[in-house]
Amino acid sequence: MFNDIGPLELLTIIVLAVLVFGPDKLPKVIQDVMRTIRKIREFSESAKADIRQELGPEFKDFEFEDLNPKTFIRKHLDSDDLGLKEIRNGFDLKKEMAEVTEAVQSYDTDAPSSSSSSSASATSSSSSSGGRVDMTKKPEEDDRPPFDADAT
């Protein structure tokens, strides 16, 4: 509960308590605070016991710490009821990314060679007409986009 209080902070709290309550009343105040903390803990434990009793035997391993979302998720992912470890081990992200990168690079190296031939034919036709494109001339068979009958 008080794991992050250092020695200097503890000394400051003690000095403030002595100044506020005085050395005469301080022991009685500490006893009252400790008694109140004990009663709160007892009430909390009895409430937990009542809830466990009301839930029944199927929740005998129920812990209230499991209600914390992080703890709940960690507990259920570590149990591996769904076979997530097999899926995780069967999927190598680095290998998949390398395959995708290789496919893209091979596509990029193939694309310029085919596009260079079409650009060369376009350049030769544009240079013969003085930089103009002849709109009356029908495009070659390779230049037409694919026809999709279902799209119309």
Give the residue numbers spanning the domain of 86: 63-110
Report residue 9's pLDDT band, with 50, 70 and 90 as the boundaries: very high
Torsion sign across C-alpha atoms 70, 71, 72, 75:
positive
Q: Is 50 exceeded by the pLDDT of residue 115?
A: no
Non-local CB neighbours of 5 within 8 Å, separated by 6+ positions: 13
Between 70 and 80, the higher pLDDT residue? 70
Q: Is 50 exceeded by the pLDDT of residue 81?
A: yes
Q: Are residue 48 and residue 67 in the same domain, yes or no?
A: no
CA distance 53 to 30: 35
Helix or strand (DSSP H, E) at 104? helix 93-128
Residue 28 lies in a domain: yes
Q: Are residue 47 and residue 83 in the same domain, yes or no?
A: no
pLDDT of residue 78: 65
Q: Is 80 exceeded by the pLDDT of residue 44?
A: yes
CA distance 116 to 42: 83
Non-local CB neighbours of 84 within 8 Å, separated by 6+ positions: 77
Q: Are residue 46 and residue 67 in the same domain, yes or no?
A: no
* Average pLDDT of the residues of the chain: 76
pLDDT of residue 42: 97
Residue 118 lies in a domain: no
pLDDT of residue 84: 62
Between 81 and 101, the higher pLDDT residue? 101
CA distance 121 to 138: 14
Residue 140 lies in a domain: no
Non-local CB neighbours of 125 within 8 Å, separated by 6+ positions: 133, 134, 137
**Total structural domains within the chain:** 2
Report residue 48's pLDDT band, with 50, 70 and 90 as the boundaries: confident
